[in-house]
C-alpha cells in the first residue's frame, strides 16, 4: 500500500505496512488530503504540534465519524472558557500531592495483580494485570468503593460497542449500561448530600458554574444522558483505565521483543523514567485525534478551509525522523523524548503524571518479579479494534511459576 492510499480506519493493515505508509506520508505529503475519509491527515511532528498549539484556530469540538467517541470521552472535546472551567475543577484531583498519595496504592495493586497469577506460570497480561490496576486507581480517586466488577463490565461493553462499526448495542450491553448509570447516580446523589474527599465531590462543587457542559450532549451508547457530571465520571472511568492499560501491555511487549533493552532497564532502574517516556512514544496509546479548522488558513503549504476536518496521527508524529534519532528503535535511555502521546498545549493530558506512575510501576514490578516473562508460544496478541486507540485486547504470556 502506498502512502496516498493509506486509510487510518482500516484495521486490517499489517503494522509494518502501516508504518511504511506513514513514513512515506511524512516524507512526501505530511499534510495529506484523505479523499475517502474527507479529512486532512497530519503525520509529521511539526504540523501536529502546530495544530495543538493553536486551539483558537483548530477547534476540539468534534465532528465527523469520531464525533460520538470524542464528544463524551475527551476533555479535548471542549474549547475556550468551558474547557478552562472543567480543567480548573478537575485538576484539583491530579495535583502532584494527590498523585504522590496514590503511589503506594499503585504499587500495591500491581503486586496484587501479579500475586494472583504468579503461581500459575501464565496469564493474559492485558486482562489480568494491565486492566485491573489503572481501573482500581481511578475508582479510588472517584471514591467508588464498591462496584468494581460492574465498572469493568461497563468499560468492556462500551469499548466493544466503540469497536463495532455499526455501534450495535446488544441487550446485555444495554443492561450493563443501565446498572452502571444507576450505581453512579446513587453515588452522585449521596455525595451531593454528604461531600467527601474524592474527585466526585470535587466535581460536584463545580455544578451550576458551566462546568462539564460539553458532557451533556446526545448520549453515546451506554453513557448517562443529560448530566454533565455523570458524563464526565463516565469519561474518567473509561479514559482513566483504557489508555494506561494499552501502554502497560504494549510497553511490556516492546520490552519482551527487545530483550537487550529489558536487561538494560533491569540493570539500571534509574532509567525507569526514560523508559516510561519511550513506552509512551513507542506505543502512542491514543493513536490519533481530530480537530476542525475554524478559519481559512495554510499549513505546510496546503490551503485548509474553514470547516475542514483534521486528523493528527500521534503514532506517526512519534516516529518522525526529524525529531527522533533512530525512531524505529525502542531505546529505554532515549533522551530527550518530545513525544505527543499526552497531547500538547491547553489540551495536555491532565492525568499524565498519574499515567506515568502507573506505567512505570507496572513495568518495574513485572520485570523484577517475572524476569523471564515471554509471549506464550503458538499464540498471538489480539489487537484492540479501534482507529483511535492503539492497544491489545489480549496478550497471552508465560513465565516461570513463582511463590507470592
Give pLDDT tens digits for 291-308: 999 999 999 999 999 999
DSSP string, 364-391: HHHHHHSTT-EEPTT--PEEP--SSB--
Domains observed in the chain: 3-398 (1.10.630.10)
Nearest to 209 by CA among 85, 92, 91: 85
pTM of the model: 0.89
CB atoms within 10 A of CB 35: 8
> Is the distance from CB of 312 to CB of 289 less than 8 angstroms?
yes
8 A C-beta contact, residue 88 and residue 78: no
Q: What is the mean pLDDT of residues 121-132?
A: 96
Q: Is the pLDDT of residue 219 over 50?
A: no
Segment 361-368 mean pLDDT: 96
Is the pLDDT score of 392 beyond 90?
yes
| Contact between 128 and 113 (Cβ < 8 Å) | yes
- Of these ranges, 4-18, 159-173, 364-378, the one predicted with the greatest mean pLDDT is 364-378
Give Cβ neighbours of residue 108 (< 8 Å, ≥ 6 apart): none
Higher pLDDT, 387 or 380: 380
Alpha-carbon distance 325 to 188, whole Å?
49
Has residue 203 got a pLDDT over 60? yes
Give the pLDDT score at 210.
Answer: 56
The DSSP 8-state label assigned to residue 30 in this structure reads S
What is the pLDDT at residue 162? 61
127: Cα separation from own chain's centroid = 16
Task: Find the largest Cα–Cα distance for the chain.
Answer: 63
Q: Please identify which residue in the block is written with the cell numbers 499534510.
A: 31
Amino acid at each position: 500500500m502506498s502512502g496516498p492510499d493509506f486509510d487510518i480506519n482500516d484495521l486490517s493493515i499489517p503494522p509494518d505496512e502501516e508504518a511504511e505508509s506513514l513514513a512515506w506520508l511524512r516524507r512526501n505529503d505530511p499534510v495529506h488530503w484523505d479523499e475517502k475519509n474527507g479529512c486532512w491527515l497530519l503525520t509529521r511532528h511539526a504540523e501536529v504540534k502546530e495544530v495543538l498549539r493553536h486551539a483558537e484556530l483548530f477547534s476540539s469540538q468534534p465532528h465527523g465519524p469520531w464525533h460520538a467517541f470524542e464528544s463524551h470521552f475527551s476533555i479535548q472535546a471542549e474549547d475556550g472558557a468551558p474547557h478552562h472551567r472543567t480543567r480548573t475543577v478537575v485538576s484539583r484531583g491530579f495535583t502532584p500531592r494527590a498523585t504522590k498519595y496514590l503511589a503506594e496504592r499503585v504499587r500495591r495493586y500491581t503486586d496484587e495483580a501479579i500475586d494472583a497469577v504468579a503461581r500459575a506460570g501464565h496469564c493474559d497480561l492485558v486482562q489480568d494485570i494491565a486492566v485491573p490496576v489503572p481501573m482500581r486507581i481511578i475508582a479510588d480517586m472517584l471514591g467508588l468503593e464498591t462496584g468494581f466488577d460492574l465498572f469493568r463490565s461497563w468499560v468492556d461493553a462500551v469499548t466493544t460497542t466503540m469497536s463495532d462499526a455499526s455501534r450495535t448495542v446488544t441487550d446485555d450491553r444495554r443492561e450493563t449500561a443501565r446498572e452502571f448509570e444507576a450505581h453512579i447516580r446513587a453515588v452522585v446523589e449521596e455525595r451531593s448530600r454528604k461531600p467527601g474527599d474524592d474527585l466526585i465531590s470535587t466535581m460536584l462543587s463545580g455544578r451550576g458554574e458551566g462546568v462539564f457542559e460539553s458532557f451533556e450532549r446526545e448520549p453515546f451508547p451506554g453513557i448517562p444522558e443529560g448530566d454533565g457530571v455523570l458524563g464526565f465520571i463516565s469519561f474518567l472511568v473509561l479514559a482513566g483505565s483504557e489508555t494506561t492499560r494499552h501502554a502497560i501491555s504494549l510497553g511490556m511487549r516492546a520490552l519482551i521483543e527487545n530483550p537487550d533493552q529489558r536487561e538494560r532497564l533491569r540493570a539500571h532502574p534509574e532509567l525507569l523514567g526514560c523508559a516510561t517516556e519511550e513506552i509512551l512514544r513507542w506505543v502512542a496509546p491514543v493513536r490519533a485525534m481530530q480537530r476542525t479548522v475554524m478559519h481559512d488558513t495554510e499549513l505546510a503549504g496546503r490551503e485548509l478551509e474553514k470547516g475542514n476536518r483534521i486528523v493528527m496521527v500521534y503514532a506517526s508524529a512519534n516516529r518522525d525522523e526529524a525529531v527522533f534519532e533512530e525512531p524505529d528503535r525502542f531505546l529505554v535511555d532515549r533522551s530527550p523524548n518530545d513525544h505527543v502521546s499526552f497531547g500538547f498545549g491547553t489540551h495536555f493530558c491532565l492525568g499524565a503524571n498519574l499515567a506515568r506512575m502507573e506505567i512505570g510501576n507496572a513495568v518495574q514490578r513485572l520485570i523484577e518479579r517475572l524476569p523471564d516473562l515471554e509471549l506464550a508460544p503458538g499464540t498471538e496478541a489480539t489487537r484492540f479494534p479501534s482507529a483511535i486507540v492503539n492497544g491489545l485486547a489480549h496478550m497471552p504470556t508465560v513465565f516461570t511459576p513463582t511463590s507470592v
